Structure 1
Amino acid sequence: MNLKKYSFLLIIVLSTLLYSYTLPNKILKKVNKEIKSIFEVKEFNLKAIKIADSINNKMRFKIGADNLFKIENNNTLIGYAYVDKAASKTDEFDYLILLDTNLIIVKTKVLIYREDYGGEIGSKRWLKQFIGKKPADQLKYQQDVIAISGATISAISMTNAVNQFLQNLETLTFNKVI
């Protein structure tokens, strides 16, 4: 092969790798750790799910190109990962939602919390209440989701974020995106 063909091939490979992992390294490491733990795999691939503008425009809350991923092991779908940010009192926090192949939440995790107060929303005990939720579920703060004193804004924000994602899942399944 000549140099032009090698260069072209290298660009294609690098583009594919960069497109597959658009998450910041610090976030990606935490996401990978959770996937390995929850799905009990050592090796897997994260593949970004492209959502056409025509479908994204139908959703109340748009999903960016670097938010929703298929998780595959040996070319077999084992689940989905959703990574996004939600508002806290004066900043925002990064969170992860892992789903099984039936689109049921198997794990939620606060990846990075940037406030001095309200970090209690990152506790495993509090986040467990989202496990088992499906696209048709709608959560109400202080009814379905326990309030946290001192973390009201972050707890409401996380509850809203999970609700918004579940609503989006309904649209994505209806439109056969996932």
Structure 2
Amino acid sequence: MNIKQFSLLLITLVLLSFTTQKDLSKKVDKEIKDTFKVASYTYETITFSSEINKELPSKFESNNFIAIKANNKFIGYAYMGKAPSKTDQFDYLVLLDKDQIVLKTKIIAYREDYGGEIGSKRWLQQFTGKKSSDNLRYGDDIVAISGATISVRSMTNAMNNLLQSLRILQSKKVL
């Protein structure tokens, strides 16, 4: 590969990453409006001290955990995370009510040829109603999907990490 080909490849990858981020934002925006049944909303990024963040199994980074308001009234939370699949990662969204109970989960971007079935509404409904005191077990609480074992386990682990993180944040009275 010569320098010209490498430069073209690098520019293409950079442009694709911007397009992907814009598409993800549109999908997240649509899910928030549909789930909370609002035409518009504002949000505020929630950040935690580095000491608290070290204790959390979920990665609370800049802009991935937000408080959502509509008409200046707090209505819930949104958490955007990444989880590993067989050879890549997928992006998921978890919407929570004021009491941090899961209202909806959504796979925002899945980048594998196989296993995309975890994005089905029916499968994702298993997480609806879960709260910080819950601990999910693959095969018991969470139904397996043939051909998507890695992604199902990964999403189950990601949800457990989020629920455990919420439990820690509640115990420290920072949520």
For this structure pair, what is the TM-score category when the shorter chain's length is used for normalisation? 0.7 to 0.9
Task: Report the AA paired with residue 79 of structure 1.
Answer: G
Note the residue ranges of structure 1 that are not aligned, 5 or more in a row. Answer: 1-22
Equivalences for residues 92-103 of structure 1 within 5 A? 92-103=89-100
Is residue 167 of structure 2 the alignment partner of residue 140 of structure 1?
no
The DSSP-based 3-state class of the residue aligned with 1:143 is coil
Q: 1:116 aligns with which of 93, 113, 118?
A: 113
Is residue 138 of structure 2 the alignment partner of residue 129 of structure 1?
no
Deviation at 1:58, TM superposition (A): 2.0
Is residue 35 of structure 2 the alignment partner of residue 38 of structure 1?
yes
Q: More deviation in 167-176 or 93-102?
A: 167-176
Aligned mates of 1:62, 1:150 — CA distance in 2: 27
Aligned mates of 1:69, 1:25 — CA distance in 2: 18
Deviation at 1:45, TM superposition (A): 0.9
> Any runs of at least 4 consecutive aligned residues in structure 1 with deviations exceeding 6 A, and if so which?
none
Note the residue ranges of structure 2 that are not aligned, 5 or more in a row. Answer: 1-19
Is residue 170 of structure 2 the alignment partner of residue 160 of structure 1?
no
Equivalences for residues 34-113 of structure 1 within 5 A? 34-113=31-110
Query: Is the Cα–Cα contact under 8 Å of residues 138 and 144 in structure 2 kept in the other structure?
Result: yes
- Give the percent of matched residue pairs that are identical in Structure 1 and Structure 2: 53
Task: Report the AA paired with residue 129 of structure 2.
Answer: G
How many positions carry a matched residue from both structures? Answer: 156
For the aligned residue pairs, the C-alpha RMSD in angstroms reads 1.2
Task: Report the AA paired with residue 79 of structure 2.
Answer: Y
Query: Is the Cα–Cα contact under 8 Å of residues 51 and 65 in structure 1 kept in the other structure?
Result: no
TM-score of the superposition, structure 1-length normalised? 0.85
Aligned mates of 2:149, 2:161 — CA distance in 1: 18
